[in-house]
Structure 1
């Protein structure tokens, strides 16, 4: 077995977090969770660059730019798309999901998807530090695990 759950020394490498400003009451909490999780496992804050973008649809483009710079070991994407009364939700979430997946494959860079997709604001709040935990922290740890595996292979 190549990977058994342990992280490599995270004092190596640089990481980026791309965060949507739209729904900032949620995304700021996701970012706090991500940064706290990275700190908890020994990633110094100097090794994490945070890049704010206007909305979720801008996340793939900025993620691609960061990946192409080859300065980052891995990238976390964070956002919150909350369903409204229109079809806009479906367009946004499909676009950002496909975009982030494409960037990860095209650029061969470990990237994790931390975009909340919820029906209500309350559901988003629960996933950003409420009863359901903080998905920002969870995806940050997933990125570190993915980077560890990626480096071993």
Structure 2
């Protein structure tokens, strides 16, 4: 048997978007893309909550708390970490990615990683609605697909 997620039957889904305030101009564009995609797939605006955190490093802790309350069908994480002149970039993106991954594994809550890791502000702009599309939109669709395939595996 082959199992594939699809983008149907989303009317009653509830989604949490955990967004980093750091690099807000980029993250706001990612949120717009995510919300537009969710709404296009039938999720009503009232079922989409946005939870702001200071930076990408704080996303995993809040995602863990959100997943534990079982209010949401899935979690989208959004942020932008832009490389600077120090190793801080590597520490933040690695901690964020590893922490977000652990949340999904240990809580069985569908969660997707939408934290951009770029070398420049221009690259982040391109990935948040520019020539490279909007990664917020892409991860929103990926979340719906993961929710769907997990639901199929449960039945």
TM-score in same-fold range (> 0.5): yes
Cα displacement (A) at 1:83:
0.1
The residue that corresponds to 1:47 in the other structure is 47
Structure 1: stretches of 5+ with no match in the other structure: none
* 2:12 match: secondary structure: coil
The residue that corresponds to 1:71 in the other structure is 71
The residue that corresponds to 1:2 in the other structure is 3
Cα deviation code 1:48-94 (max 9, x no counterpart) = 11100000001000100000001111000000000000000000001
Check if 1:144 corresponds to 2:144. yes
**d(CA) in 2 for partners of 1:113 and 1:19?**
11
Check if 1:87 corresponds to 2:87. yes
The residue that corresponds to 1:123 in the other structure is 123
Check if 1:133 corresponds to 2:115. no
TM-score normalised by length of structure 1: 0.97
Q: CA RMSD in A?
A: 0.8
**d(CA) in 1 for partners of 2:14 and 2:43?**
9
Check if 1:15 corresponds to 2:12. no
**d(CA) in 1 for partners of 2:147 and 2:82?**
29
State the aligned residue count: 152
Structure 2: stretches of 5+ with no match in the other structure: none
The residue that corresponds to 2:114 in the other structure is 114
TM-score normalised by length of structure 2: 0.96
Cα displacement (A) at 1:2:
1.7
| Displaced runs of 4 or more, over 6 A | none
